[in-house]
Structure 1
Amino acid sequence: MMSKLIACVFVLLLPIDNAICKRMWEYTLISVNTTSADPSKFKMDAEIVRISRTEFGLSVNVVLNFVIDETTFAVVYRSNTGNEEDYVLMPWSVAKQTYEEFTKAYYKNFVYKNLAHCSNLPTPDKAYPLPLGTVMKFERCIIPGESLPDYVPDGYYKTVFTATGEVELSAVLTLKVSKITDLFG
């Protein structure tokens, strides 16, 4: 009798457990914009590319001819509507820090996990220091969301990467996040 009860509870809770342990949102790429005050030191060409009828990815070529330092950082904003005046800062920002500190704290668990499959990123043990003239290529990247929160509010998100040291640069990625409605699919 007890074994039947345990089996029933297990069968009933299995789908819930599987639904809870996966990302409950999806994203649509809206735009990507890059700027550089000195393209000889930093050049980034980025575009959203169609992968299939319903999927889009990101293709980026980066040429790096300066030393990344503590003036390089990233922040994330969210908006319910997508209007420029409506964006608010989210708590998922990366504090201003040296590139070496960034590689120790974020590179392996976030950047490499999400982008290694579609790029020539160096392995985490070779990510610092990056030699001058480093060229990084990202081809048709679809970010799987490793190490990101399982639950994210619906809305528009902007991820802004900036540097203000040796060269002023920025890269802005805008995407729309929505809930996955098929919890057991």
Structure 2
Amino acid sequence: MLNVVSSVERVGRSDYAISGTLTNNEDMDESTMIEALCYRSSSGAEDDYKILPFSIPNQPFKDFVKSYYKDIIYKSFQHCSNAPPPEEAYPWPKGDINFDMCSTNGEGLPENLPEGYYKVIFKITASTQIVYTAIIKLTTKLM
């Protein structure tokens, strides 16, 4: 079983960070598949979301670790979590991964994204299917 407990915390007047714990009790091996579907909406209305081209296709977890995890996820969260480095991320270790006031630096993500609502649906399929949905409102930061 994979369990995610997370919260968004305000940092200063205009920034936010995520804190939480990801607890893994599953064997995430060659039979584990992962995908992430990315959508954007200008209004946030459920029927307004459109799929984006930078979704992560359904693939074995091992392939995900070698690419998306190494190039995007780990680089974005290594400074604020105890996430395993890519060379130790497969098979994924059992136990807790803690995130403390994480805000991404955007490395590995598209350079420019229009304002709006972004929804990412992570699906992990092993002995059971686990789905985690994140919705993020992106606005222009005024200096």
Residue in 1 that maps onto 2:52: 90
- The alignment yields a C-alpha RMSD, in angstroms, of 1.6
Residue in 2 that maps onto 1:62: 22
Kept in 1: contact 2:76–2:107 (CA 8 A): yes
Would the alpha carbon gap of residues 48 and 181 (structure 1) be closer, same or farther in structure 2, given more than 3 Å must change? closer
Give the 3-state SS of the residue equivalent to 1:101 in structure 2. helix
Residue in 2 that maps onto 1:122: 84
Kept in 2: contact 1:42–1:167 (CA 8 A): no
Kept in 2: contact 1:45–1:60 (CA 8 A): yes
Please give the per-residue CA displacement for 1:66-111, whole angstroms capped at 9, x wherever unaligned.
1234432111000011000110110111011111100111112101
Specify which of 46, 53, 56 is matched with residue 13 of structure 2.
Answer: 53
User: What TM-score do the two structures reach when normalised by structure 2?
Assistant: 0.90
Higher RCO, 1 vs 2 (CA within 8 Å, ≥6 residues apart): 1
User: What TM-score do the two structures reach when normalised by structure 1?
Assistant: 0.70
Specify which of 108, 126, 133 is matched with residue 165 of structure 1.
Answer: 126
Please give the per-residue CA displacement for 1:25-62, whole angstroms capped at 9, x wherever unaligned.
xxxxxxxxxxxxxxxx1211111112223221111201
Aligned-pair CA distance for 1:176 = 1.6
What is the total number of aligned residue pairs between the two structures?
Answer: 141
Moved more, 142-151 or 173-182: 173-182
Query: Quick check: 1:149 aligned with 2:110?
Result: yes
Q: Which has the higher helix share?
A: 1
Which of structures 1 and 2 has the bigger CA Rg? 1
Question: Structure 1: which 5+ residue stretches go unaligned?
Answer: 1-40
Q: Which has the higher strand share?
A: 2
Give the 3-state SS of the residue equivalent to 2:76 in structure 1. helix
